[in-house]
A and B are shown apart, each in its own frame.
Chain A
């Protein structure tokens, strides 16, 4: 069940169905790009500079979901749902944020 997701949940522990729902929101109109450029390393520098973003663009050409690949990739760090929701909210991607956390928490 997805019920147990909190802001402390690791991205890497998200279920397939939640990932799929997120990709439905973030794949269209390249919304995933707003997310990827907002991801920072602990030191503050961008985790995915432009040449990395181009690799994800290449996946789109292969018919793969850049959102799913990004969640896999970023999930190898101990990134959390809270970090992702903060980024989604900063870009007003409220629908995607509420997929992860209930609306009262996400807004």
Chain B
């Protein structure tokens, strides 16, 4: 499966909640949701406004999906690699692959 062709909508709520668990806490040095949002090309002002939300990761994912034509599962994984969040890549990869499998199954119907 080419994950770059799978739209972000394939990711269901469990994966999104877990992404929030990993990315919402601010880190001193390591990448958090802000670094991810920047890699998704959100502007500084947009990122500052997301700070007001209880679950900024959730908002960032929803708006990225709505605004960007290259919001794909493959791109999200490449961003997480780029910002060196190998913990997320390792822990959530099975869940993400499972959502992608379900998504492809539904598309066929």
Residues of A within 8 A of B (CB): 10, 12, 48, 52, 55-56, 59, 69-70, 72-78
Contact = CB atoms under 8 A, between A and B. Distances in A.
Contacts, number: 36
A55 B30 contact: no
A48 B30 CA distance: 10
Contact of B30 (A10, A59, A73): A73
B87 A56 contact: no
A17 B37 CA distance: 32
B84 A72 contact: no
B84 A73 contact: no
Contacts of B77: none
Contacts of A48: 29
